[in-house]
Structures are given as C-alpha cells and as structure tokens.
C-alpha cells in the first residue's frame, strides 16, 4: 500500500469465506410520535391503528398521565413495511386528524448473516469476526455507559466490560490498562456484545441469533430452527442521531440514503502489523498487539496504539534533554498522518457485502 502510515506493514484478514453466508438488511422496528388534532382515549387509538402486517402495534400515550384524554401517542411497530405503516397512519388521520406530520423518534436497523449450509461452528466464527472487526468510528470510552461490553443470562443480567477502565483522574492507570493485555476481557461467543449507551443516541449489538420475538415479561420466545439461525449486527438510532442524519419525519425514511449508514454504523476494519523481519523489539510489540487484537478487536488495538504514541510523546522531551547532556541529538520524529483509523485498513469483503444489503433495503423501502 502506498500510504506512509502503512509502509512496511502486513494486513491480517480472517480465514473465513463470506460467500458461505447470505446477507440481508432489515428494519427491525420504528417508533413514531403522532400528535392528534383532537384528544381521545388510548383504546380508541389502539383500535384505529389495528394490526400492521398481522402484528399488534405497541401504543403509549405521553401526555399528562392524569388527563382522561390525550393527543400525543408513541407507536412502536415491529418489522415494518413502509406502505403498511402509511396505511395505518392514514386510518388514524381519517378518524382523529393530525396536528402535524408523524415524527420518526427511533429506528433499529439490522444486518443478518445466515449460513447457506447451517452450522453452529461457522456462525460462532463469524460472531468472533464481527466483534473483533467492528469499528464504531466515534469515541466510546469517555462515557462509561458507551464502552464495549457483553451481557448474558436472562434474569439478573451480567455485564463484562472488554476494556475495564477505571473512573479515576490518574490517567497513568488507564494508560497502562490500554497498553497492557493483563486485564482484557474477551467477549463470550454466546453473549450479546454491546457498544454505546442503552437509550443513548446510538447503540450497537452483535449476537448469534438463535431465538426471536422474545418477551421477557411474559417469558415467551420463538426458538429458531437451524436454517433460520443467523449472526446479527444491529444499530439503534434515537432522535438526536436521526436529526444529525437529516431524518425527522416518518416520510423522510422513504427518501433516506441507506448506503450512508454504512460509513457511520456498519464499518469493519482489519489490523496491520509490522513486517515479520522487523527487529526483536518490534517483534515483541507485534506479539502484544496481536494479543490485544484477539482480546479486544480493532477498537482495543487502535486505543493501544494511541496510548503508546501518547506515552512516547510525553517521554520525548526528557529523552532529548538527556541526549543533549551527552552532546547528542534526537532523531526527528516520524510524522506519517495516521488519522482516526490509525494503522487499520478497510475490511473490503465485509464492507462490500453490507453495502449490497443496505442498497437492497433502500430499494425495498422506496418501493413500499
């Protein structure tokens, strides 16, 4: 590669044939805020919207809780088809009138990878690949609730942070944690991997999906047969992030460019390493970086590299002063622009597969 930041480096790519999977993108659910022209009771709104694609719509009023009638209602619609949702909203408008166009409050979009030949092993391999190579492209460390983690168990959920940083003002403690591999906590393959705060502007989940339509309150679920089991990457976008993308009204969804979602939310990267013929010190660093990547993925590796650069920058003035005492000069600092991706490179095969799935999703939404 010609870029200075990648000179003399080798790319490591998963030994996994992505052609063994079909890949599709779906809208899991949407939440819409509807302001009625005249107040009414919850049950009449529920009755008017009816079923959408044979599924009951979750309706919640968000007006004054003591008021007998309301005008603001929030609808959550599972696996929506845009045309069917529009028909349901038209029924609401005919019956009660709308004070304004329906507002899109939140949306969850998923990419599903389904093995063409059912296999637990190949799904678990892909789960590991997706977790390690997922690149959020934004700061997910500053806020504790954003940090990469996995959860498991259906009752009292257990949470395991991949990079267990401390809430401390002593930056050296976390600096050491980012560089060291001692306290890394790799994701369990049968857990759900999260990045981003629950209820925050953006949250990702990666999972080996073997059940569907789970209702924890009722204790019900649908166990998927082996041909339906798949690995899923999903992102939930709340109102602030939708507005940043220029999506405010429900009708904006039909005009959205779903390919633009890939850059910010469905991006996967590959790690690079120094040439294998490097000196012993670099070989040792390569080994540490390799372990960091296996434990924490490209995100942990990028943070490790950033921490090493910060530490070197802090040590440089002291080293320069020591050399000056010995009438020696320090070598000029190499300054190849590393950018936000550091020494990572795009995982082209994965990104291409996701790009195709998102393009087809956009076509289905527009045709609906």
The verdict on 233 and 85 lying in the same domain is no
| Res. 125 pLDDT band, cuts 50 70 90 | very high
Query: Residue 302 domain-assigned?
Result: no
Residue 221 has pLDDT above 80, yes or no: no
Query: Residue 287 domain-assigned?
Result: no
| Residue 348, burial from CB neighbour count under 10 angstroms (0-12, 13-18, 19+) | exposed
The verdict on 33 and 46 lying in the same domain is yes
The verdict on 115 and 40 lying in the same domain is no
Residue 4 has pLDDT above 70, yes or no: no
With tokens 């925050």, the residue in question is 200
Q: What pTM was computed for the model?
A: 0.86
Query: Residue 244 domain-assigned?
Result: yes
The verdict on 131 and 238 lying in the same domain is yes
The verdict on 127 and 47 lying in the same domain is no
The verdict on 255 and 357 lying in the same domain is yes
Q: DSSP states of 120-175 as a string?
A: HHHHHHHHHHHHHHB---S--SSSGGGS-EEEE-SSS-EEEESS-----S-HHHHH
The verdict on 246 and 360 lying in the same domain is yes
The verdict on 169 and 267 lying in the same domain is yes
Could you count the other beta carbons within 10 Å of the beta carbon of residue 56? 12
Query: Residue 11 domain-assigned?
Result: no
The verdict on 35 and 168 lying in the same domain is no
- State the CATH number of the domain containing residue 90: 3.30.70
The verdict on 186 and 141 lying in the same domain is yes
Q: Which residues lie closer than 8 Å to 288 by C-beta, 6 or more apart?
A: 179, 181, 304
Range of the domain at 102: 26-106
Query: Residue 258 domain-assigned?
Result: yes
Gap between the Cα atoms of 18 and 244, Å rounded:
32
The SS3 of residue 63 is coil
User: At which of 89, 106, 123 does a domain end?
Assistant: 106
- 249 within 8 A of 103, measured Cβ to Cβ: yes
Gap between the Cα atoms of 61 and 341, Å rounded:
44
The verdict on 114 and 200 lying in the same domain is yes
Instruction: Write the pLDDT tens digit of every residue in 78-96.
Output: 988 888 899 889 989 999 9
Instruction: Write the pLDDT tens digit of every residue in 273-316.
Output: 887 666 676 777 788 899 999 999 999 999 888 888 777 666 65
Residues linked to residue 206 through DSSP beta bridges, in sequence order = 193, 233
The region of weakest confidence among 183-192, 322-331, 344-353, 358-367 is 322-331
Q: According to the model, what pLDDT value does residue 214 have?
A: 65
How many domains, the chain?
2
Nearest-5° Cα angle at 356, 353 to 360: 140
Query: Residue 179 domain-assigned?
Result: yes
Query: Residue 169 domain-assigned?
Result: yes
Residues linked to residue 346 through DSSP beta bridges, in sequence order = 269
The verdict on 185 and 222 lying in the same domain is yes
User: At which of 106, 141, 160 does a domain end?
Assistant: 106
């Amino acid at each position: 590669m010609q870029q200075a930041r990648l000179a003399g480096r080798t790319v490591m790519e998963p030994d996994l044939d992505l052609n063994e999977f079909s890949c599709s993108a779906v809208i899991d659910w949407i939440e819409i805020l509807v302001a009625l022209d005249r107040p009414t009771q919850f049950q009449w709104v529920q009755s008017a919207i009816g079923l959408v694609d044979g599924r009951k719509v979750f309706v919640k009023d968000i007006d004054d809780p003591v008021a007998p009638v309301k005008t603001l209602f929030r609808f959550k619609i599972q696996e929506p088809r845009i045309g069917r949702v529009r028909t349901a909203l038209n029924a609401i408008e005919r019956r009660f009138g709308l004070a304004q166009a329906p507002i899109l409050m939140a949306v969850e979009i998923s990419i599903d990878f389904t093995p063409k030949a059912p296999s637990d092993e190949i799904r678990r391999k892909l789960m590991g690949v997706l977790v390690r190579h997922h690149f959020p492209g934004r700061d997910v460390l500053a806020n504790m609730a954003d940090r990469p983690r996995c959860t498991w168990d259906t009752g009292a959920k257990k949470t395991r942070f991949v990079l267990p940083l401390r809430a401390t003002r002593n930056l050296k403690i976390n600096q050491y944690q980012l560089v060291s591999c001692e306290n890394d906590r790799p994701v369990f393959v049968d857990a759900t991997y999260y990045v981003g705060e629950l209820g925050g502007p953006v949250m990702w989940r990666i999972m080996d999906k073997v059940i569907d339509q789970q209702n924890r309150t009722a204790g019900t679920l649908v166990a998927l047969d082996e041909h339906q089991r798949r690995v899923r990457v999903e992102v939930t976008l709340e109102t602030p992030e939708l507005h940043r993308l220029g999506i405010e009204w429900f009708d904006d969804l039909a005009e959205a460019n779903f390919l633009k979602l890939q850059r910010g939310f469905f991006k996967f990267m590959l790690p690079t390493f120094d040439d294998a013929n490097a000196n012993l010190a670099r070989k040792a660093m390569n080994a540490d970086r390799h372990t960091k990547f296996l434990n924490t993925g490209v995100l942990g590796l990028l943070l490790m590299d950033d921490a090493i650069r910060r530490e070197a920058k802090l040590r440089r003035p002291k080293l320069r002063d020591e050399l000056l005492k010995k009438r020696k000069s320090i070598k000029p600092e190499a300054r190849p622009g590393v950018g936000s991706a550091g020494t990572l490179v795009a995982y082209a095969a994965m990104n291409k597969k996701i790009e195709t799935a998102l393009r087809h999703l956009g076509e289905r939404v527009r045709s609906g």
